[in-house]
Amino acid sequence: MTVAWGGFCSSQPACVTVSLRKATYSHASIIARKAYTVNVPSSAQVALVDYVGIVSGRDVDKFAITGFTAVRSGVVDAPYIEEVPLVLECRLAQIVQVGIQTMFVGEIADMKADVTGHENPRDVGEGIWGSGCSASKGSNWSGA
Ligand SMILES: Cc1cc2nc3c(=O)[nH]c(=O)nc-3n(C[C@H](O)[C@H](O)[C@H](O)COP(=O)(O)O)c2cc1C
């Protein structure tokens, strides 16, 4: 799903939040899997991301319609999108109810970033995050 409400909330351990309404399909999925991924699109992908934010995975196969490719994360129980330039793979660390939104705090277990200027993500691990991050290099990407 598309999320606007979220952001980094800790550097050590590196954590990122997303705030979801309970009615979303993604909400139950995050609780069941205790994990989620944050997929940051390029500007060229904005229209597809907008579409992902107006339909529910309960009703349609968003991957089939958008052409995005779902890849199983090697470190958390959640898929990520192959075509986006930045992926954060998060283990659910805390759940905070804030009004009608549930704020999920995820510890970043790994990340994949495009360091080549192309759309395919590459694992750069601590290269981007520096010493304050717990992210480590994954085994399913060869690196740039
Ligand atoms: C630009 C944009 C930003 C959005 N931000 C949020 C958000 O921060 N939290 C939320 O609960 N829904 C947000 N939505 C709405 C969800 O993406 C939408 O309800 C989506 O259909 C849920 O998908 P799902 O049912 O497959 O999980 C946003 C939608 C758009 C288009």
Residue 144 scores a pLDDT above 70: no
Does a structural domain hold residue 34?
yes
Ligand 1 within 6 A of CB of 50: yes
- Residue 119 has what pLDDT? 52
137 or 95: whose pLDDT is higher? 95
Which residue puts its alpha carbon closest to atom 18 of ligand 1? 53
- Residue 120 has what pLDDT? 52
Does a structural domain hold residue 1?
no
- Could you tell me which of 102, 143, 105, 134 has the C-alpha nearest to residue 13? 134
Does a structural domain hold residue 64?
yes
Compute the distance from residue 80 Cα to the ligand 1 centre, in Å. 17
Count of domains observed in the chain: 1
CATH at residue 102: 2.30.110.10
Does a structural domain hold residue 119?
no
Full-prediction pTM beyond 0.75? yes
Q: What is the pLDDT of residues 27-65, one digit of tens each?
A: 999 999 999 999 999 999 999 999 999 999 999 999 999
- Residue 64 has what pLDDT? 97
What is the extent of the structural domain holding 74?
A: 6-109
User: Which DSSP string corresponds to the chain?
Assistant: ----SEEEEEETTEEEEEEEETTSHHHHHHHHHTEEEEEEPPGGGHHHHHHHTTS-TTTS-HHHHH---EEE-SSSSSEEETTSSEEEEEEEEEEEEETTEEEEEEEEEEEEE--SSSSS-B--THHHHGGG------SS----
